[in-house]
A and B are shown apart, each in its own frame.
Chain A
Amino acid sequence: GDQVKQSPSALSLQEGTNSALRCNFSIATTTVQWFLQNPRGSLMNLFYLVPGTKENGRLKSTFNSKESYSTLHIRDAQLEDSGTYFCAADITGNTRKLIFGLGTTLQVQP
């Protein structure tokens, strides 16, 4: 958790509002993955990022490798967006292993 720090740790949103989640990296990071763990425990892939920005529907994510951070923007939050969001750093090297943050638990309320 120290090498990948997520903030905030928890967040409550009203339906229809926007928010941003952040990951800061203290290790050299080649690529970043964002996941949503739903209430049943399954990990859903949201984004796989090299440095740059990707967008998918109401979600948008940026990875800035020079400043060692990544953000996940949620626009027009919906009830089904609730769950825990994890970012994971794919560290430089041949191992291709992921270092996970501790997650941001999001609750979207009507």
Chain B
Amino acid sequence: EAAVTQSPRNKVAVTGGKVTLSCNQTNNHNNMYWYRQDTGHGLRLIHYSYGAGSTEKGDIPDGYKASRPSQENFSLILELATPSQTSVYFCASGDAGESSYEQYFGPGTRLTVL
């Protein structure tokens, strides 16, 4: 069964509305990440977390918040959604061990902001 899951898989939101994207991992990894994928930019890091209670800014954090309430769950929050945030969002988990930092990705969430 899939080790990193995301919900919802598709979302249509209105400008100015609040959107929460959820991610769950069963890998027991300490690190979790949120990326967005846009044509011409590839995947870019928004926020990441080293463990429950921690959130860190990635390369493009403006307009986004993150929450890591537990080892398994990591949420991405758009308080005031804008059309420029229309994108495909990927969550990933990765180990923090010395032997491997491989990241594993969820199936993605397609968000459209109208």
Interface residues of A (CB under 8 A from B): 1, 30-31, 33, 35, 41-43, 45, 48, 86, 88, 90, 95-98, 100-103
Total contacting residues, chain B, CB less than 8 A: 26
Main secondary structure of the interface of A (DSSP, over half): strand
Q: Which residues of B contact A90 (CB under 8 A)?
A: 101
Task: Tally the A-B contacts, defined by beta carbons under 8 Å.
Answer: 51
Question: In the bound complex, how far is the Cα of B8 from the Cα of A8, in angstroms?
Answer: 34
Interface of chain B: mostly helix, strand, loop or mixed: strand
Which of A33, A41, A42, A101 is in CB contact (< 8 Å) with B42? A101
- Residues of B near A86 (CB, < 8 A) are 42-43
State the CA gap A1–B39 with chains docked (Å).
Answer: 11
Q: A97-B48, A102-B42 are in contact. Are A43 and B105 (CB under 8 A)?
A: yes
Residue B44 at the A interface, CB < 8 A?
A: yes
Contact A95:B107 (CB < 8 A) given known A45-B102, A86-B42, A90-B101: no
Extra inter-chain contacts (17) besides given A33-B103, A42-B107, CB under 8 Å: A1-B42, A31-B101, A41-B88, A41-B110, A43-B90, A45-B104, A48-B102, A96-B31, A97-B48, A97-B58, A97-B59, A98-B33, A98-B43, A100-B35, A101-B42, A102-B40, A102-B41
